[in-house]
Amino acid sequence: MQKSRYTEAQIIAVLKEVDAGMKVKDICSKHGISNATFYKWRAKYAEQSSSEARRIKKLEDENQRLKALVADLTLRNQALKHIVSKKW
**pTM for the model:** 0.55
Tell me the C-alpha distance between 55 and 63, whole Å: 12
Map out the domains of the chain as residue ranges: 1-48, 50-88
Confidence (pLDDT) at 1: 55
Confidence (pLDDT) at 37: 93
Confidence (pLDDT) at 70: 97
